[in-house]
A and B are shown apart, each in its own frame.
Chain A
Amino acid sequence: MDITLDVNGVKRHVAADPETSLLEVLRDDLGLTGAKYGCGESECGACTILLDGENIHSCVTSLSEAQGKKIVTIEGLPKNGKLDPVQQAFLDEGAMQCGYCVAGMILAARALLDKNPHPSDAEIFEHMNGNICRCGGYPRMIAAIKRAAGNPK
């Protein structure tokens, strides 16, 4: 079945069953490998993308759920060649180790700051709790999110 997706502002055509996982299509059909597989059951957040501005786990999102909505992946986050402030803040705070979780972290944080530009620590913890960093990089990621909050888009 031919499905049209709006990915990073570009219309993309995919021939796949509407129940196919969006993560698999982004990675394998569209070559957007910034979103990662980590668990396949919405537990780790490595596959986080933005769907109409909400951070969602693309591993458990079907193509049909994504159809007609604006998909933003890490590849589409920089604007006019400039890193998003959250990306820049992760760089400035050195908020990464192996880096496998980082794209998901950045997109989850982007969605938080779009809705709540100055979140409290508790609000950051609650919003980000679905994203796992096995290297234990959380403290610097919290610092990066706060830094980005002070440096809006």
Chain B
Amino acid sequence: MSATTLTRRQMLKTLGGGILVLAVAPDAIAAAWAQRRGGPPVPQEIGAWLHIADNGHVTVFTGKVEVGQNARTSITQAACEELRVSPESVKVVMGDTDLVPYDMGTFGSRTTPTMLPQVRKAAAAARELLVDVAAKKSGLDRASLQAHDGRVAGPNFSATYGELAKGQSLDKTISNDIALTPTDAWKEMGMPLPKVAAEEIVTGKHQYASDISRPGMLHAKVLRPPSFGATLTSLDTKAAEAMAGVRIVHDGDFVAAAAPTERAARAAIEAIKAEWKETKQPGHADLFTLLRGVDAATPAATGEKTLQGTYRCEFIAHVPLEPRAALAEWDGKRMTVYTGTQRPFAVRDEVAAATGLTAKEVRVIVPDTGSGYGGKHTGDTAVEAARIAKATGKPVKIVWTRPEEFTWAYLRPAGIVEITSAVSAAGRLQGWTHDNYNSGPAAIDTPYAVEPKHAQFHEADSPLRQGSYRSLAACFNNFARETHMDELAHMLGQDPVQFRLANIENPRLKNVLTAAAEKFGWPGKAPTGHGCGIACGTEKGSYVATAAEVAIEGNEAKLVRAVIAYECGAIVNPELLKNQVVGALIMGIGGALFEEIDFDHGRILTDRLSKYRVPRYADIPPIDCILLDRKDLPSVGAGETPIIGIAPAVGNAIFAATGVRLQALPLKLP
């Protein structure tokens, strides 16, 4: 039975007594998001629960997952902060649909602003409950007791949480308004707690979904059509079925081979004779015509001086180093699937729908995953493995190859942005329009002070499967806007930083831009063949500014140095935040300079790493990272927004070095 259907009493019994606290706090923003996307309302009000066992062990249950952004660590810190315990006594159970409360998924930088407060509230309530128990036990006045270091102590009294929880069977649902430790009194949050379970990683002991195996497990491969939209017209699996240990699963256009080893499954797929009917598919040559679709016919901005620009970006792939993988086990009653996904509950529902089961009959477990970057929202491998497991009655593992990953996963949308602007001769913005075709609405609104302004996203028929990506369209919308701002500064003969500052009213945006410019030594001293560029932006409540110096070698721009300033409210963990901020900048170098998906006739042509360049050691310049800690502001997420500054900074630096204005991603000099 799913824990989400258990009563609290039953659940407490399952956990072996002790103290259970449930945090009631619907993620209002995630719920609104779901409804905007036409999804169902978030069905549960419970955001997280927390259990204290009679041995003092604390377990936090959350539907969030760990994909390298270190949510496991920050959630541990949140529980420790309010419970006054050390990190060693806290375990976080994540992304197991049988054990954790419903969660929309780990995306949109929502863990920090919504899950951490819920965990903290549950922990604070548990601490107060323990003090109640101690007061009863000791006969002391509640006010004379204090919780610290995993104990409740007072005059001539001290008991560990375990001692207090022993024999209890308490459960409590807490309201939204329980008091939390003020930021300036934080002892665990705000500190550089190292990544939880890091030793498992350096020793190779951590088992990603692709590493798990089960007795009697089969490895499976799916027969792929030659192109998107192709349908099966004839199939001969005789030779494959004759191979030792091979099981063939055939259901409509879905054909798979399962065998005791991956190589045997691969050989079986190669032995299948199949004919496909292909349909005409657009190629890259048609891409931007397709996306431009209907003309928005937005009237251009008017003012003293005007400018217009058209910007483009290509499809790019997430390339998570761990490809999609899943292991499914069918016991005749329930399906258990281990898979790397950012949305365990959505994948549970996908698996149920694909296998004719109810959601209650499916359990999805997400081991800490080999990255996602917004690319693992769907359950492709989970569904494939579950279908084969149900058909064969054996545990089945599927790990996509890199070409499968490039071809059958979804991509970050390609797009077109058209901007028109007007500016006074003195350099004040007088009007702004921004139309985005296909790539998305994230960060489409300009953060600069300008009226009138217009921003609109126009959907288009994408020729390829597209979806979420780290920061969604904010990368491209910010690239277009910040490139255009640079063009305006150049047109006016003004310094790009001064021009921006004159048009920014938001002090947080001003602060990161000033911090980055100062650290960089703006305008920089670029030798011949070098150039410096800068860009800033905001998305999901945090602020970033990035400055870059490039060197032009032939027709290639090489990054020489970069500075990034970032502000996301009160910092939860400075070391892990720095990891995210610098890592996002580095990932962004790929989208800025190298990455583009080529396709034709319904095939991805750039379907392997030898054809699709991602950032490597030799591409990485010295990077200075400045974190602005705003203890007076709520903490917000940081996994996405730091990526949005690097591409325009590099493009603007290329212009400074060469006088060539590049308006398309990736940035390629002619």
Tell me whether A135 and B371 are in contact (CB under 8 A): yes
Q: Which chain B residues lie closer than 8 Å to A74 at the CB level?
A: 202-204
Q: Which chain A residues lie closer than 8 Å to B579 at the CB level?
A: 94, 97, 135, 137, 140
Task: Kindly identify which residue among A38, A96, A126 contacts B195, using a CB–CB cutoff of 8 Å.
Answer: A96
Tell me if A56 counts as interface (CB < 8 A to partner B).
no
Tell me whether B202 and A100 are in contact (CB under 8 A): no
Tell me whether A98 and B623 are in contact (CB under 8 A): no
CA distance A96 to B70 in the complex (A): 10
CA distance A137 to B75 in the complex (A): 22
CA distance A61 to B650 in the complex (A): 39
Q: Which chain A residues lie closer than 8 Å to B371 at the CB level?
A: 97-98, 100, 134-135
CA distance A44 to B610 in the complex (A): 9
* Per-position 1/0 for A124-142, Cβ under 8 A of B: 1110110111111111101
Task: Kindly identify which residue among B321, B583, B587, B620 contacts A44, using a CB–CB cutoff of 8 Å.
Answer: B321
Distance (whole angstroms) from the CB of B289 to the closest CB of chain A: 32
Of the stretches B129-137, B207-215, B328-336, the one at the interface is B207-215
Q: Which chain B residues lie closer than 8 Å to A132 at the CB level?
A: 321, 609, 614, 616
* Per-position 1/0 for A6-49, Cβ under 8 A of B: 00000000001000110010011101111111111101101000
Tell me if A58 counts as interface (CB < 8 A to partner B).
no
Tell me whether B402 and A36 are in contact (CB under 8 A): no
Tell me if A152 counts as interface (CB < 8 A to partner B).
no
Q: A38-B321, A94-B579, A134-B371 are in contact. Are A44 and B617 (CB under 8 A)?
A: no
- Size class of the contact patch on chain B: 35 or more
Q: A37-B210, A73-B204, A98-B68 are in contact. Are A124 and B617 (CB under 8 A)?
A: yes
Q: Which chain A residues lie closer than 8 Å to B585 at the CB level?
A: 136
Q: Which chain A residues lie closer than 8 Å to B582 at the CB level?
A: 136, 139
CA distance A46 to B609 in the complex (A): 13
Q: Which chain A residues lie closer than 8 Å to B319 at the CB level?
A: 134
Tell me whether B575 and A106 are in contact (CB under 8 A): no
Q: Which chain A residues lie closer than 8 Å to B195 at the CB level?
A: 94, 96
Q: Which chain B residues lie closer than 8 Å to A75 at the CB level?
A: 203-205
Tell me if B415 counts as interface (CB < 8 A to partner A).
no
CA distance A91 to B199 in the complex (A): 7
Tell me whether A20 and B263 are in contact (CB under 8 A): yes
Q: A91-B198, A94-B576, A129-B617 are in contact. Are A100 and B370 (CB under 8 A)?
A: yes
Tell me if B322 counts as interface (CB < 8 A to partner A).
yes
Tell me if B128 counts as interface (CB < 8 A to partner A).
no
Q: Which chain B residues lie closer than 8 Å to A68 at the CB level?
A: none
Q: Which chain A residues lie closer than 8 Å to B616 at the CB level?
A: 129, 132, 138
Q: Which chain B residues lie closer than 8 Å to A32 at the CB level?
A: 204
Q: Which chain A residues lie closer than 8 Å to B22 at the CB level?
A: none
Q: How many A-B residue pairs have CB under 8 A?
A: 164
Which secondary structure characterizes the binding site on chain A? loop
Tell me whether A125 and B608 are in contact (CB under 8 A): no
Return the chain A residue nearest B625 by Cβ.
Answer: A139
CA distance A101 to B371 in the complex (A): 10
CA distance A101 to B370 in the complex (A): 8
Q: Which chain A residues lie closer than 8 Å to B67 at the CB level?
A: 98
Tell me whether A136 and B321 are in contact (CB under 8 A): no
Tell me if A150 counts as interface (CB < 8 A to partner B).
no
Tell me whether B584 and A100 are in contact (CB under 8 A): no
Tell me whether A39 and B608 are in contact (CB under 8 A): yes
Q: A44-B321, A134-B371, A134-B373 are in contact. Are A100 and B203 (CB under 8 A)?
A: no
Q: Which chain B residues lie closer than 8 Å to A124 at the CB level?
A: 617
Q: A134-B319, A136-B583 are in contact. Are A78 and B203 (CB under 8 A)?
A: yes
Tell me if B69 counts as interface (CB < 8 A to partner A).
yes
CA distance A28 to B614 in the complex (A): 28
- Chain A CB count within 10 A is highest, among B201, B202, B206, for B202
Tell me whether A43 and B608 are in contact (CB under 8 A): yes
Tell me whether A136 and B202 are in contact (CB under 8 A): no
Tell me if B219 counts as interface (CB < 8 A to partner A).
yes
Tell me whether A125 and B617 are in contact (CB under 8 A): yes
- Chain B CB count within 10 A is highest, among A28, A44, A73, A98, for A98
Q: Which chain B residues lie closer than 8 Å to A31 at the CB level?
A: 213
Task: Kindly identify which residue among A20, A41, A96, A135 contacts B402, using a CB–CB cutoff of 8 Å.
Answer: A41
Q: A28-B219, A136-B615 are in contact. Are A38 and B202 (CB under 8 A)?
A: no
Tell me whether A43 and B609 are in contact (CB under 8 A): yes
Tell me if B262 counts as interface (CB < 8 A to partner A).
yes
Tell me whether B321 and A33 are in contact (CB under 8 A): no
Tell me if B399 counts as interface (CB < 8 A to partner A).
yes
Tell me if A103 counts as interface (CB < 8 A to partner B).
yes
Q: Which chain B residues lie closer than 8 Å to A88 at the CB level?
A: 202
Q: A36-B210, A40-B402 are in contact. Are A138 and B369 (CB under 8 A)?
A: no
CA distance A96 to B196 in the complex (A): 11
Task: Kindly identify which residue among A24, A39, A43, A106 contacts B262, using a CB–CB cutoff of 8 Å.
Answer: A24
Distance (whole angstroms) from the CB of A46 to the closest CB of chain B: 6
CA distance A23 to B365 in the complex (A): 26
* Per-position 1/0 for B7-49, Cβ under 8 A of A: 0000000000000000000000000000000000000000000
Return the chain B residue nearest A33 by Cβ.
Answer: B211
CA distance A74 to B580 in the complex (A): 25
Return the chain A residue nearest B201 by Cβ.
Answer: A99
Tell me whether B608 and A41 are in contact (CB under 8 A): yes
Q: Which chain A residues lie closer than 8 Å to B399 at the CB level?
A: 37
Q: A36-B321, A83-B202 are in contact. Are A100 and B208 (CB under 8 A)?
A: yes
CA distance A34 to B201 in the complex (A): 9
Q: Which chain B residues lie closer than 8 Å to A94 at the CB level?
A: 194-195, 198, 575-576, 579
Q: Which chain A residues lie closer than 8 Å to B208 at the CB level?
A: 36, 100
Tell me whether A24 and B261 are in contact (CB under 8 A): yes
Tell me if B113 counts as interface (CB < 8 A to partner A).
no
- Chain B CB count within 10 A is highest, among A40, A99, A106, A131, for A99
Tell me whether A133 and B610 are in contact (CB under 8 A): no
Q: Which chain B residues lie closer than 8 Å to A29 at the CB level?
A: 261
CA distance A37 to B262 in the complex (A): 12
CA distance A140 to B70 in the complex (A): 16
Tell me if B320 counts as interface (CB < 8 A to partner A).
yes
* Per-position 1/0 for B565-589, Cβ under 8 A of A: 0000000000110011011111100
- Chain B CB count within 10 A is highest, among A39, A40, A44, for A39
Task: Kindly identify which residue among A102, A126, A139 contacts B201, using a CB–CB cutoff of 8 Å.
Answer: A102
- Chain A CB count within 10 A is highest, among B261, B321, B399, for B321
Q: A20-B263, A97-B69 are in contact. Are A34 and B587 (CB under 8 A)?
A: no
Q: Which chain B residues lie closer than 8 Å to A142 at the CB level?
A: 617
CA distance A37 to B583 in the complex (A): 22
Task: Kindly identify which residue among A40, A128, A135, A140 contacts B587, using a CB–CB cutoff of 8 Å.
Answer: A135
Q: Which chain A residues lie closer than 8 Å to B615 at the CB level?
A: 136, 138
A sample of 6 inter-chain contacts (CB < 8 A) reads: A24-B263, A28-B262, A94-B579, A97-B68, A97-B371, A132-B609
Task: List 8 tightest A-B contacts by C-beta distance, closest first.
Answer: A34-B204, A98-B68, A136-B586, A100-B370, A74-B204, A136-B583, A99-B201, A43-B609
Apart from A132-B321, A138-B615, 4 more pairs, CB < 8 Å:
A34-B204, A78-B203, A90-B202, A138-B586
